[in-house]
Structure 1
Amino acid sequence: MRREEIVQTYHLKGNPGQGLALATFGFFVGFAAVSLFGPVTNNFNHLMHMKGLLLGLLIAAPNLSGSLLRIPFGAWVDKAGGKKPFIILLLLSLLGMAGLTAILFFYYPRGITLNMYPVIFFFGLLSGCGIATFSVGVPQTSYWFPQKKQGLALGTYGGLGNTAPGVFGMILPFALAALGLTASYAAWFVFLLVGTVIYSLFAQDAYYFQLAQTGKSQEEAKQIAQDLGQELFPSGKMKEALRISAKTPKTWLLVILYFTSFGGFLALTGWFPTYWNQYFGLSAGQAGLLMALGFSILASLVRIYGGHLSDKFGGELTAVLSYGVVLSGALILIFTHNFWFALFGEITVGIGMGTANAAVFKLVPKYVPQAPGGASGWVGGLGAFGGFVVPPILGAFTDLYGKKGYAAGFWVYVVLAAIAIVTSFILRRSAQS
């Protein structure tokens, strides 16, 4: 039968373009849930008078859930497809946003004290569930596309989805001026709610999962999906996907790489507004715009082209060069006291991280083709855990060195980038042998 006849016979919905668009939209919406959290922690800090370590932990709270939940939910895609895990994570994020909005409505500003830290931290954790949608969208997108198009597809998915913090970072100063903090949070909650509904109504899993959900056997569903062009197929069990990918040594090398690039990206998305505000004395609005334009949006859009470079030159070589760029930018941020050089350093780090992120996920289906969902969970989850680990360390530098600590903290990225460069070389040599 022709493709159109097969689709009509089995009542299949969607196509690769729609699959990519809805996965990207869902990730963008989920990431938007935490775009206000970093900036609002500065407001809370003025009222709660936190130490640098506590401030770093609070900024990083969404990244804890957003990273660790990627592991089981990414692997679950190999069993259930992407739509169901995606919706559950978005609903958990909605609960977090609702809780934070309620705190602002009933307690801000006079009722916000250090005693409320655990409650705010908890709702920050829930909000971060939207970040975990990334590892769901990666295999959901991968199953729609052939191997030769993985780099560009995943680069587009990750790149456009990752623009959420930057886009909302630009909108935030205007929203705060027009609506105030509480109403702005309520508006973000409504956006997340509407986005969740849209994703739930229109997103579709790849053909194999649609067929499996109608009762087709694994073999029959696989054969029909292959006739429609699908190349990647799951092991079928969540635990099996995690086990297979965990037993693949290169999964853990990819975790190391992603810890630096995407974990580092998450950490700096929350930290850069504080850095610009405290180290250079910029207003919260100016600091947010610099983070958005000079880092978050830039890194996200570069990720799209990074996918193209990874398809053309290979993910391994692209990673080596990208982490070298990250290291260079971190050194600039350490030693400069000049605003323009610091901005150049931020931009340099953003370009390196964006390109590296694309390179890493070009390599996931290459090295773990039998369980890309499980591998996506390990790499996306433990890699993104850097977004939780790094901010408290950066905060500790400020506790130790005062204002100078905001620059000295970037030694963390020098070390991480150097480790990532060595790891990328190991992968490149293994690919050539």
Structure 2
Amino acid sequence: MDHHPHKEKHDLTGYPKLGLWTATLGLFAGLTSIVFYGVAGPEFKESLELSGVLLGLLLSSPHVSKAFLRVPFGAWVDEVGGRKPFLILLGLSIVGMAGLVFILFFYYPSDFNASLFPALLFFGILGGAGGATFSVGIPKTTYWFPADKQGYALGFYAGIGNIGPGVFNFVIPLLIGLWGLTAAYFGWLAFLIVATAIYALYAVDAYYFQLLDNGIEHSRAKKISQDLGQDYFPSGNTWASLKESAANGKTWILVFLYTISFGGGFTSLTAWFPTYWYSFHDVSLVVAGLIAAIFTIYGSLIRVPGGSLSDRFGGENIAAISFGIMAVGALMLTVFSSFLYAFLGMMILGTGMGVANAAVFELVPKYIPDAVGGASGWIGGIGGAGTLIILPVLGKFVDIYGQIGYARGFVVFIVLSAICAAISYALKIFVAKGD
């Protein structure tokens, strides 16, 4: 394909695997921001003397911008391609991280107190913009690959890209122990800058968008891109994509399923688990970070085979089974207080979440083929906002029940997982039959 005459004639660059790898790198870097404070949650809780609810608010602050920016930026891909939205979001995340490093440098530890809470919330919100890259990379990846490779490509993108928070859940506590809090976050800032620079150098949009940029008319650009293997194309601009996807009822079903499997579920737990393991099971901050990292990395990687399973057996079937597995894991975390059973419950929950999320996104181009960007924006944005509810709710269980509240809070996931399993089964019965 690299020597296809259309590529040479129209001066087209890149190829699907490069598009996939650069999108994955951008997501890996940007999504680290969802654990902006989570990795050092216990440190911030103690230094600022925060209640459970206020800690939940601080941990969820990056998810505000992540949620609200996913909607317009995901849809914007249908108009300009993914490269520009990626770079803007990563740039905003760098500014937020730089602001936090500035506060830590001048105020931590001697003058680090509750008066800084509003500023920390602000920089957390700004830094979380990188988390919005998720809904940008979904359509960017979709437009690079043919229909029969969607589960694989999106599973790889989301699976490998989502390792970022897990890696940083482990690395940052280690760096805090070695270098101190300020230097650890400075190292994180340096990583964001380098990753963004690499993305800027190598990332290219799918051929259709390159052809439009080169002045080729829409229908001809579409024909050339189809010859090069592209199956999905945007039906209009940002607003048209949002409007068309919003008018499709299946979009809102996928919004809810994504909220529980990932946007409000998995991402909440990547930020919550360091504090859960540190405060409830009384392990060190480094060990708590390692356990949380295992959850995040495993739950992300399993999305890769989850995507392939969805291609093979259908997203509806895989989603129904996976949400059932989620309920089992959440039940174990709720009922058992022992370290071993809690760890096993966490891994079962992570299995269900990872595979369910891969299944949900296999259904996006299938259900909303003409507005993948808009649908990804709604799903990633509104679904991602679930974190703003779930994290404070988990904190409230601790405020009400004390120490045992860390375990009892997982009852929320039992109920929500059961509802999602029923919805997924209904999709299999009705939507799969064309009703």
TM-score, normalised with respect to structure 1: 0.98
Instruction: Write the mapping of 1:327-342 to structure 2, written as runs, cut at 5 A.
Output: 327-342=327-342
Moved more, 215-224 or 151-160: 215-224
Cα drift, residue 36 of structure 1: 4.6
How big is the shift at 1:5?
1.4
Distance 2:19 2:40 in 1: 34
1:270-293 Cα distance to aligned partner (Å, 9 max, x none): 001111111111111111101111
Query: Counterpart of 2:282 in 1: which secondary structure?
Result: coil
- Counterpart CA distance in 2 for 1:240 and 1:18 is 28
Distance of 1:179 and 1:114 partners within structure 2 = 24
Q: Is the 8 A contact 1:85 1:136 kept in 2?
A: yes
Instruction: Report the equivalent of 2:156.
Output: 156
What are the within-5 Å matches in structure 2 for residues 407-418 of structure 1? 407-418=407-418
C-alpha separation between the residues in 2 aligned to 1:374 and 1:78? 8
Task: After superposition, give the CA deviation of every residue in 1:229-280 in whole Å (9 maximum; x if it has no partner).
Answer: 1110001210100000000000000001000011200000000111111111
SS at structure 2 position matched to 1:131 = helix
Secondary structure, counterpart of 2:140 in structure 1: helix
Return the alpha-carbon distance in structure 1 between the equivalents of residues 34 and 214 of structure 2: 36
Deviations 1:82-127 (A, max 9, x none): 0000000000000100000101100011212112111100100111
Q: Distance in 1 between matches of 2:171 and 2:116?
A: 28
* Partner Cα separation in structure 2 for residue 33 and residue 392 of structure 1: 18
- Contact 2:238–2:374 (CA under 8 A) maintained in structure 1: yes
Query: Deviation at 1:2?
Result: 10
Alignment of 1:71-110 (within 5 A): 71-110=71-110
* Rounded Cα–Cα distance in structure 2 between residues aligned with 1:4 and 1:205: 17
Q: Distance in 2 between matches of 1:385 and 1:425?
A: 25
| Aligned equivalents of 1:369, 1:418: Cα separation in 2 | 28
3-state DSSP class of the match of 2:265? Answer: helix
- The gaps in structure 1 that reach 5 residues or longer are none
Tell me, yes or no, if the aligned pair for 1:167 and 1:297 is still in contact at 8 Å: yes
Deviation of 1:318 after TM superposition, in Å, equals 0.3
Is 1:146–1:229's contact at 8 Å kept on the other side of the alignment? yes
CA contact (8 A) 1:36 1:185 kept: no
2:209 corresponds to: 209
Show the counterpart of 1:325: 325
1:28-427 matches, within 5 Å, as 28-262=28-262, 263-293=264-294, 295-427=295-427
- List per-residue Cα deviations over 1:42-73 (Å, max 9, x = no partner): 21211211111111011111112112211100
Q: Cα distance, 1:172 vs. partner? A: 2.3
| CA contact 2:36–2:127 (8 Å) conserved in 1 | no
| Equivalent pair of 1:309/1:318 in contact (CA under 8 Å) | yes
Change (3 A) 1:256 1:153: same
Q: Residue type of the partner of 1:286?
A: V
Q: Given residue 273 of structure 1, which amino acid in structure 2 is its aligned partner?
A: P
Q: Which amino acid aligns with 1:353?
A: M
State how far apart, in whole Å, the 1-side matches of 2:72 and 2:146 are.
25
- SS of alignment partner, residue 254 of structure 2: helix
**Percent of residue pairs bearing the same amino acid type:** 51
* Separation (CA, whole Å) in 1 of partners of 2:178 and 2:32: 19
Q: What is the distance in 2 between the residues matched to 1:404 and 1:33?
A: 29
Q: Give the alignment's Cα RMSD to 1 decimal.
A: 1.3
Q: Distance in 1 between matches of 2:33 and 2:256?
A: 26
Q: Deviations over 1:182-208 (max 9, x none)?
A: 111111101100111110111000000
TM-score by length of 2: 0.97
SS in 1 for 2:98: helix
**Which sections of structure 2, spanning at least 5 residues, go unmatched?**
none
> Aligned partners of 2:89, 2:2: CA distance in 1, in Å?
37
- Contact between 2:36 and 2:59, CA under 8 Å: does it hold in 1? no
Conserved 8 A contact 1:35-1:164: no
Cα separation, 1, equivalents of 2:70 and 2:62? 12
Change (3 A) 1:310 1:257: same
Partners of 2:336 and 2:407 in 1: how far apart?
8
